[in-house]
Chain A
Amino acid sequence: MKPAPFKYYAPRSVPEALSLLHEHGYDAKVLAGGQSLVPMMNFRLVQPAVVVDINNIPELATIQGDNKSLRLGAMVRHAAAEKDSLVKESAPLVHESMPRIATMQIRNRGTIGGSLSHADPSAELVVVTTALKANFRIQNQSGERVVPASEFFVGLLMTAMEPEDLLVEIEIPPLPPRSGWSLKEVARRPHDFALVGVAAVLTLDRKDRCEDARLVYLSAGDGPISAPEAAALLQGEKITPDLIAAAADKAAVDEIDPGSDIHATAEFRRHLANVLTRRALEEAHQRALGGKEEI
Chain B
Amino acid sequence: MENQFDLSLTVNGVSYQREVDPRRLLSDFLRHDLGLTGTHVGCEHGVCGACTVLLDGAPVRSCLIFAPQAHEHEITTVEGLGTIDDMHPLQEAFREAHALQCGFCTPGFLTTLLPWLEEHPQPSEEEIREAISGNLCRCTGYQHIIDAVKLAAEKMAAG
Please report A residues at the B interface, Cβ cutoff 8 Å. 1-8, 10, 31, 34-35, 38-39, 42-43, 51, 53, 55, 79, 99, 102-106, 108-109, 189-191
Q: Which residues of B contact A103 (CB under 8 A)?
A: 49, 133-134
- Pick the contact of A42 from B44, B49, B112 — CB < 8 Å? B44
User: Which one of B11-19, B56-64, B94-102, B151-159 contacts A?
Assistant: B56-64
Known contacts A5-B23, A7-B3, A51-B22; A42 and B63 CB within 8 A of each other: yes
- State in angstroms the CA–CA spacing of A34 and B22 once bound together: 14
Residue of A nearest to B45 (CB): A39
Q: Which residues of B contact A8 (CB under 8 A)?
A: 3, 5, 22-23, 66, 68
- State in angstroms the CA–CA spacing of A189 and B130 once bound together: 11
Count the B residues whose beta carbon is within 8 Å of the partner chain — how many? 30
B93 at the interface (CB under 8 A from A): no
- State in angstroms the CA–CA spacing of A79 and B131 once bound together: 13
Q: Which residues of A contact B46 (CB under 8 A)?
A: 35, 38-39, 105-106
- Pick the contact of A105 from B3, B21, B59, B68 — CB < 8 Å? B59
Known contacts A1-B44, A104-B134, A105-B112; A34 and B23 CB within 8 A of each other: no
- State in angstroms the CA–CA spacing of A231 and B61 once bound together: 40
Contact of B59 with A104 in the complex, beta carbons under 8 Å: yes
Residue of A nearest to B4 (CB): A8
Please report B residues at the A interface, Cβ cutoff 8 Å. 3, 5, 21-23, 25, 28, 44-46, 49, 52, 55, 58-61, 63-66, 68-69, 71, 112, 116, 130-131, 133-134
- Pick the contact of B60 from A3, A7, A43, A105 — CB < 8 Å? A105
Sample of 27 A–B contacts (CB below 8 Å): A2-B23, A2-B28, A2-B44, A3-B66, A7-B3, A7-B22, A8-B3, A8-B5, A8-B22, A38-B46, A38-B65, A39-B46, A39-B64, A42-B45, A42-B64, A43-B45, A53-B69, A99-B130, A103-B49, A103-B134, A105-B59, A105-B134, A106-B61, A108-B60, A109-B55, A109-B58, A191-B134
Q: Which residues of B contact A2 (CB under 8 A)?
A: 23, 25, 28, 44
